[in-house]
Structure 1
């Protein structure tokens, strides 16, 4: 029944999901320290909107695009390599790119760890990756999970679904901790998280719940450190951000890391 849908369980930068704020934040993070970018790859290139932003910041860069289909691209001079990232490796050699961007993709994949390993392979030493995905740890999402058992933008999935580019294709909720952990496991360093925008509608709820969250975090973290030994110097910076005010308000996480 699914054989006609070669995209399988991932989609790329659909106009319905990848807003201007996400792409702008991704481009800003990628170039915040003025890196030299001569080659860049956008995984999930869609219409090419993020590639256009990269070209503005690095006009001489050679840009590459990878997607599950090539018909979405609107930049006439940009070719697209087609790949099914649930089954295929990235169709590029080792140590090729200064920058890899991947916005609103990992939540569509069966195994995002595999993609991160591939990104590490194709990046040059010292190269940068920027990844975005819905922030399932914001307060609105946590409350929805508490009430219904599903995170925001991750609802009940129809069996045999054909649509891969909308939230119907969201099959893998990835929290900031596990994304940062996967990057660190692949040797990435200087991992930084930012957000496309704050959910202002969550502020009244945050005023109510923040004291409880802060208190629970304090006691839970102590138990994790002393009793279960799950928090140490290798992961504490990621753990500390999980219940931060920015995490509780941010709509989409945008993560930057260096190979």
Structure 2
């Protein structure tokens, strides 16, 4: 259930990496609109996966049903040339597990294209400052069961943590863009850009020199947090590649988790 701007940003990335006769998977396929657009003018096999098939409106398109929080994706390893997952991870309890599954089902050299609301734009940051809630992640009802549809934004995902999760799953060559810039953030940018540069720079140097949390491999993603695309963009569009010669990711995922836990403990000790 994406927007026109998201489709325009995602489609070129997918089409440029889908060979004729290849296989493409849309995770959280919804009505099938992205599948329909990818299939136009492309000869290959398309697959949809979602927690229900009731949304699908594309004739002849099968939907493989899976609980994206708990179930493995119902496909063999190294099966797809490209996977999309647009406006999905913010609906999940455990998006990192899903990213590891996407890594597993991608062939080496294949790509994943993700989108999620950008909670780091200035409009969202100011809302969090005044109200304590990011844009599109307001107070949830305590009396209704959350469904994984458009009313179920339960996990605000910071760009840096999404990039970290992709790297931890085994992906490389991460790229970032946005669907469009928010005009409503331009006035805030004029007022706040200089303070962000000054105080953000001070915080960056503190993290780098005192806490030693910034290293060459994560520095570009830390810097991106206060760059113009994320200060003004409405939706994060991120793509990443499964490296040639990569393993499935099942073993890599558990090893990465152990390394992450060790690194977190080390960083916490430094802060104390």
Instruction: Determine the C-alpha separation between the residues in 2 that align with 1:132 and 1:161.
Output: 26
SS of alignment partner, residue 168 of structure 1: coil
Cα pair distance change 1:166/1:139, threshold 3 Å? farther
Query: Where does residue 19 of structure 1 map in the other structure?
Result: 3
1:14-34 CA distance string (max 9 Å, x none): xxxx111112211122234x5
Moved over 6 A (4+): none
> Partner of 1:207 in structure 2?
190
Partner of 1:196: 179
Q: d(CA) in 1 for partners of 2:135 and 2:126? A: 9
RMSD, matched Cα: 1.3
Q: Could you say if the C-alpha distance between residues 202 and 212 of structure 1 is closer, same or farther in structure 2, counting changes exceeding 3 Å? A: same
Q: 1:60 aligns with which of 43, 47, 53?
A: 43
Aligned residue in 2 for 1:28: 12
Q: Distance in 2 between matches of 1:45 and 1:167?
A: 13
Alignment of 1:118-137 (within 5 A): 118-137=101-120
Unaligned runs of 5+ in 2: 243-272
- Change in CA separation of 1:212 and 1:166 when aligned onto 2, cut-off 3 Å: farther
Residues 30 and 256 in structure 1, CA contact (< 8 A), matched pair in contact too:
no
Aligned equivalents of 2:13 and 2:200: distance in 1?
Answer: 29
Task: Using structure 2 for the length normalisation, give the TM-score.
Answer: 0.85
Distance in 2, matches of 1:219 and 1:251, equals: 26
- Number of residues of Structure 1 aligned to a counterpart in Structure 2: 241
Secondary structure of the residue aligned to 2:167 is helix
Equivalent residue in structure 1 for 2:123, among 112, 122, 140: 140
Tell me if the contact between 1:24 and 1:53 (Cα under 8 Å) persists in the aligned partners.
no
Q: Which residue of 2 aligns with 1:105?
A: 88
- Per the TM alignment, residue 160 of structure 1 is displaced from its structure 2 partner at its CA by 4.0
Measured in 2, the distance between the counterparts of 1:212 and 1:247 equals: 16
Query: Matches of 2:143 and 2:241 in 1, distance apart?
Result: 38
Does structure 1 retain, via aligned residues, the 8 Å contact 2:26–2:85?
yes
Greater helix proportion: 2
Residue 6 (structure 1) aligns with: none
Provide the TM-score with structure 1 as the length reference. 0.90
1:201 Cα deviation from its structure 2 partner: 1.3
Mapped contact 1:153–1:167 kept (Cα < 8 A): no
Aligned equivalent of 2:230, options 241, 247, 250 = 247
CA distance in 2, matches of 1:166, 1:75: 18
Where 2:184 maps in the other structure, the secondary structure is helix
Name the residue aligned to 1:153. 136
Secondary structure of the residue that 1:52 maps to in structure 2?
A: helix
Alignment pair present for 1:90 and 2:63: no
Alpha-carbon distance in 2 for matches of 1:78, 1:166: 20
Do the aligned partners of 2:18 and 2:82 also contact (CA within 8 Å) in 1? no
Q: Structure 1 residues 71, 174: closer, same or farther in 2, change over 3 A? A: same
